Amino acid sequence: MDKITVVLAGQPNVGKSSLINAISNAKLKVGNFAGVTVDKMELDITYCDEKTCQDYMIHVVDLPGTYSLVDYTQEERVTKDALLEGDYDLIVNVVDSTHLQRNLLLTTELLELGKKMVVVLNMIDEAQNEGIEIDEKQLSIILGVPCIKTSASQKIGIKELEESIIKVSQQKESESKVIYSDFIEEEITRIQFFFQMRRYKSSLSYRELAIKLLQEDEQTYKKIHDEPIWIELQHIVREALEHLYLHTGSKDIKEIFSDEHFAFAKGAKMEVMSRKSMRAKNFTQKIDNLLINKYLGIPIFFLFMWILFQLTFTIGAIPMDLIDASFAWLGESAKSVLGDGVLGSLVADGMIAGVGSVIMFLPNIMILFFGIALLETTGYMSRVSFMLDGFFHKFGLHGKSFIPLVTGFGCSVPAYMAARTLKNEKDRLLTLFIIGFMSCGAKLPIYVLFIGAFFGDAHAGNWLFLIYLTGAILGLIAAKILYLYVFNGDDEPFVMEMPKYRLPSFGLIWHTVYGQSKSYLKKAGTFILAASMLVWFASNYPKQNELEKSYATKIELSQNEEDKKTLGNELNKKILEESYLGRVGQASEWFFAPLGFDWKMSIALETGLAAKEVVVSTLGVLYSLGDETDENSSSLREQLKKHIPLPAAVSFIVFVMIYLPCFAASMVFAREAGGWKYLLYLFIFTTTVAWLLSFIAYNVMKLIVGA
Amino acid sequence: MVLSELQKGDMANIIRINAESTLRSRLNSFGVMRGESLKVKGCSLAKRTMEIEIEGTLLALREEEAKKIEVEKLVE
């Protein structure tokens, strides 16, 4: 069976993914491009040529959409590298038939690569609805490559495309051609002629070589520079360039050629496209009149967001509870099978609990990503950037940063993943770094506990709101500071297409959701499993057998239930104190002392690195109340009030607001940011900020209280 | 005059793009070229971003970028 490797290239929003979805009998593989967080979609199609009875395996790699071959964003870089250096047989260039001219610009650039190519005129049904007629035969002649009309939604042209791929792959070499203006063609001919005269040996055709020289392609120069022919060639090329400069009045060769590409694309369009009527885009226009209305646009957006988060966190909570319960049950049964010993504890408290905490987020992630995919594929997301960019840009963020940031109030895990919608690396990193400032749902119990203990229940809601608001404001300030002093590279120019509104197919959205969920489970799952085992180990070891024995006898000897419970709690406290985790807490007391924390609070914060929910239960254990405590436990409140002075409590809240998110989130952060070093930066950054602000809060409160 | 000075509904021809090569190539790739005509479709609050239509493509750009596009307003 012959294998043909095809790269799928095209501008964003041309329906590449829908096209992939429309191909039946395909096996899909979702993953990442090596070393970057750019989604990679690959599929294998088996194709049987009916005439020759030859079987083919078509391996398709879907490249990220790009408007032109540049390398500003990570995705554009991936596409450009893959096209220039990748190992493939041919390019399938997907073109949006309703935006022919703009799409042909990229086609022109692709043609210049000199590879075998097939052009797909996608969304032809939509074009027809808009009254656009395209003569694909004429276009084939102009471009020198086959052009095929397709529609993913109507499943038109899929078979023809497959046939054409096979046919083109069997050609000896590419027949693609870009024709330039006469004055450039003249210079090309002159250089070509020179190569012919010298019978120069080259893997590229003389024409390609001449064009590359005129375009000042570095690689070509490097290669020819070391050859004897260079001495004469140099003069000819210099002269040719002078002619171009003289003719265009510009000394920028890139500009000269991009004018050429544009002229070529426009010329091609003029020749092959005709407009029967002007029924175009009324639909998009009408919706936009409402959705990006100067005054109504933003409230409508907030409404959509509100619905999305209601769905995410209320509907998501139903399976979450179920998953939680079933994993608890699984843990219990594991313990009953394996016994209460080391193995049972490792499996139940370490592994099952750890994996459970990963899977628990899955409903959230799926619902949220369903919503985000819907917003993106309909074309609404770019309207959001359009409306909010003015505000967010002041803080160095992007209009699209809004969604990950708001998601952060629910849970940081999906929030970090949602930052993928930001295509520019700097925007994404900046957003990732400040998501933690948006207090997540798991921090709520801590706030409720401390507010209840120190400020009373009467104004709890107001205090809570103040905490969340302060976090958000601090986050924006942090963004500005990071933007000014850390990520102070060039701004990406904000020039963005607002795609037409389109109803996406369910299958396409499902693909996105499925892909994201799978990659979350796979990557985060393995890391979190390892990490939760580590935390389990640190909080259970070294074993204190004697301590446990002495308590066991004490518990047996004691008469009433109450005493037994107290003794049990005391044992838990002692075990935690003596564990590696406890030792770390005590060893790090000096670090937290200036903030007013005792070692118990320090340990609670450190266990909070595993999961924020644990902070409350750790405090419960350390204040000898057992680990069944929750934020509403009145005895824990009293204990806290008795042992912790008010300034230390405030400083504790401030620290919790800012410091490193939980383990699951940290793992996802490292993955989304693109490396462990970023997690280290985040750790240093959040810890420093948390420490400094807590220190300030502690001392200011001390002054106010007068203690 | 420059693009950012136009109001919603205005039409104009592009005379020149005064931008460094990254921005210019980005604009070019969307079909924003010398000689092409465009229409302003709308602006966000405080005119931080604006939406234009060029050759059937809707584009959003920031005020900073719009300032770099020299245009000639067309009278209807």
Strands of B8-56 (E only): list them: 11-17, 37-43, 49-54
In terms of domains, do A82 and A12 share one?
A: yes
Taking contacts as CB-CB distances below 8 angstroms, the residues of chain B near A267 are none
Whether A146 contacts A165, CB under 8 Å: no
All residues of chain B having their beta carbon less than 8 Å from the beta carbon of residue A279 are none
- Would you say residue A146 lies in a domain? yes
The pLDDT of residue A286 is above 90? no
| pLDDT value of residue A254 | 86
The span from the CA of A182 to the CA of A248, in Å, is: 12
Cα A168 from chain centre: 35
Check residue B14 and give its pLDDT: 94
Among the three residues A169, A202, A221, which one is the final residue of a domain in this structure? A169
**Over 90: is that where the pLDDT of A24 sits?**
no
* pLDDT exceeds cutoff 60 at A629: no
The answer to whether the CB atoms of A252 and B46 lie below 8 A apart is no
Q: Is pLDDT larger for residue B57 or for residue A460?
A: B57
Cα atoms in the 13 Å half-sphere on the side-chain side of A352: 20
The DSSP-derived string for A488-552 is: -SPPPP-EEE-PPP-PPPHHHHHHHHHHHHHHIIIIIHHHHHHHHHHHHHHHH-S--HHHHHHHH
Same domain, A12 and A119: yes
Shared domain check, A108 and A50: yes
**A568-611 pLDDT, tens digit each:** 777 777 777 788 878 888 888 889 989 998 888 888 888 788 77
Flag whether residue B56 sits within 8 Å of chain A, measured between CB atoms. yes
Which of A386, A402, A500 to mutate to test binding with chain B, by most B CBs within 10 Å of its CB?
Answer: A386
pLDDT of residue A501: 86
Same domain for A223 and A120: no
C-beta atoms of B60 and A495 within 8 A? yes
pLDDT of residue A455: 86
Full residue range of the structural domain in which residue A79 is found: 2-169
To test the contact with chain B by mutation, choose from A387, A498, A500, A501 the residue with the greatest count of B C-beta atoms within 10 A, namely A498
Q: Which residues pair with A28 in a beta bridge?
A: A43
Q: What residues in A contact B42, CB-CB < 8 Å?
A: 288, 292, 294
In the chain, the amino acid numbered A546 is E
Asked whether residue A592 is assigned to any structural domain, the reply reads yes
In terms of Cα–Cα distance, which of A481, A476, A687 is closest to A595?
A687
Q: How far is A83 from chain B (nearest CA, A)?
A: 17
- What's the confidence (pLDDT) of residue A271? 92
CA of A105 vs chain B CAs: smallest distance (Å): 7
Structure-block tokens of residue A691: 């420490």
Region of poorest pLDDT, from A39-53, A118-132, A664-678, B60-74: A39-53
Q: Give me the number of domains chain A comprises.
A: 3
Residues A94 and A189 in one domain: no
A259–chain B Cβ distance below 8 A for any pair: yes
A48 SS3 class: strand
Q: Do B48 and A385 touch (CB under 8 A)?
A: no
Q: Which residues of A touch B69 (CB under 8 A)?
A: none
Is A102's CB within 8 Å of B31's CB?
A: yes
CB A263 within 8 A of CB A108: no
Per mean pLDDT, which range of A197-211, A246-260, A348-362, A456-470 is the poorest?
A348-362
- What 8-state DSSP symbol labels residue A72? S
3-state secondary structure of A163: helix
Rounded Cα distance, A618 and A621, in Å? 5
Q: Give yes or no for A262 touching B (CB within 8 A).
A: yes
Highest mean pLDDT pick, A136-145, A541-550, A634-643: A136-145
Across the interface, do A387 and B42 touch by the CB < 8 Å criterion? Answer: no
Same domain, A127 and A189: no
**Same domain for A125 and A12:** yes
Substitution target in B7, B26, B34, B39 with the highest count of A β-carbons within 10 Å is B26
Domain assignment present for A491 = no
Q: What is the pLDDT of residue A91?
A: 93
Q: Between residues A67 and A565, which one has the greater pLDDT?
A: A67
A chain contacts of residue B46, beta-carbon cutoff 8 Å: 390
Task: Please report whether residue A510 resides in a domain.
Answer: no
Most confident listed range (A307-316, A554-563, A619-628, A694-703): A694-703
Say yes or no: A157 and A187 in one domain: no
| Mean residue pLDDT across chain A | 83
Q: Assess if residue A427 is contained within a domain.
A: no
pTM, whole model, 2 decimals? 0.77
- Residue A600 domain-assigned (yes or no): yes
Q: Does A187 lie in the same domain as A40?
A: no
So what's the pLDDT on residue A272?
Answer: 93
How close B35 gets to chain A, by Cα (Å)?
11
How far from the centroid of its chain's Cα atoms is residue A502's Cα? 23
Task: For residue A256, give both structure tokens.
Answer: 């000269």
Residues A122 and A235 in one domain: no
CB contact under 8 A, B51 and A498: yes
Q: What confidence score (pLDDT) does residue A240 get?
A: 92
Q: Output the domain CATH number for residue A130.
A: 3.40.50.300
Report yes or no: B71 and B15 within 8 Å, Cβ to Cβ.
Answer: yes
Higher-scoring residue by pLDDT: A267, A552: A267
Domain boundary among A216, A249, A282: A249
Q: CA–CA separation, A247 vs A254, rounded Å?
A: 15
Which tens digits make up the pLDDT trace of A57-112? 889 998 888 988 887 777 888 899 899 888 899 999 999 999 999 999 999 999 98
Residues A116 and A208 placed together within one structural domain of the fold: no
The pLDDT value recorded for residue A490 is: 66
For residue A294, give the nearest of B25, B32, B45 by CB distance.
B45
Which pLDDT score is estimated for A496? 84
Predicted confidence (pLDDT) at residue A190 exceeds the cutoff of 80: yes
Closest CB from A102, A390, A493 relative to B57: A102
Where among A121, A140, A169 does a domain terminate?
A169
DSSP secondary structure of A227-281: STTHHHHHHHHHHHHHHHHHHHS---HHHHHHHHHHHHHHHHHHHHEEES---TT
Q: Write down the pLDDT at residue A614.
A: 75
**Any residues with CB less than 8 A from the CB of A128 and at least 6 apart, and which?**
none
Which residue in chain B is spatially nearest to A109 when comparing CA positions?
Answer: B29
Contact B26 A67 (CB under 8 A): yes
Of A262, A386, A490, Cβ closest to residue B28? A262
B37 touches chain A (CB under 8 A): no
Which chain B residues touch A490 with a CB distance below 8 Å? Answer: 22
pLDDT in tens, A395-442: 988 888 888 888 787 778 878 988 887 877 888 899 999 999 988 877
pLDDT attached to residue A707:
54
In a domain, A653, yes or no: yes
Q: Which residues of A373-399 are buried (b: 16+ CB within 10 A; e: fewer)?
A: bbbbbbbbbbbbbbbbbbbbbebbbbb
Q: Which domains does chain B have, with CATH numbers?
A: 3-74 (2.30.30.90)
A281 touches chain B (CB under 8 A): yes
Q: What's residue A31's pLDDT?
A: 64
Ordered DSSP codes for A287-338: HHHHHT-TTTHHHHHHHHHHHHHHIIIIITHHHHHHHHHHHHHHHHHHHHHH
The radius of gyration of chain A's CA atoms, rounded to the nearest angstrom, is 32
Summarize chain B as % helix, strand, coil (round to 5): 25, 45, 30
The partner residue sitting opposite A390, judged by closest CB among B27, B49, B55, is B49
Taking the Cβ of residue B51 and every Cβ of chain A, the question of whether any pair is shorter than 8 Å is answered with: yes
pLDDT tens for chain B, 76 residues: list them. 999 999 988 999 999 998 888 888 889 889 899 889 999 988 887 778 899 999 888 999 998 889 999 999 988 6
pLDDT of residue A627: 54
A126 touches chain B (CB under 8 A): no
Contacts of A258 in chain B (CB under 8 A): 24-25, 28
Give pLDDT, residue A694. Answer: 95
- A153 and A199 co-located in one domain: no
Q: Using a CB-CB distance cutoff of 8 angstroms, which residues of chain A are in contact with residue B37?
A: none
**Does residue A60 lie within any of the structural domains?**
yes
Give the whole-angstrom CA distance, residue A694 versus residue A651: 5
Query: Which pLDDT score, from 0 to 100, does residue A658 have?
Result: 93
Amino acid at A312: T
Q: Over 80: is that where the pLDDT of A617 sits?
A: no
Sign of the alpha-carbon dihedral angle for A307, A312, A317, A318: positive
Q: Which long-range contacts (CB under 8 A, 24 or more apart) does A278-284 make?
A: A278/A131, A279/A129, A279/A130, A279/A131, A280/A98, A280/A130, A280/A131, A280/B56, A281/A130, A281/A500, A281/B56, A283/A500, A283/A501, A284/A379, A284/A500, A284/A501, A284/B58
User: What ipTM, to 2 d.p.?
Assistant: 0.92
Residue type, A644: I
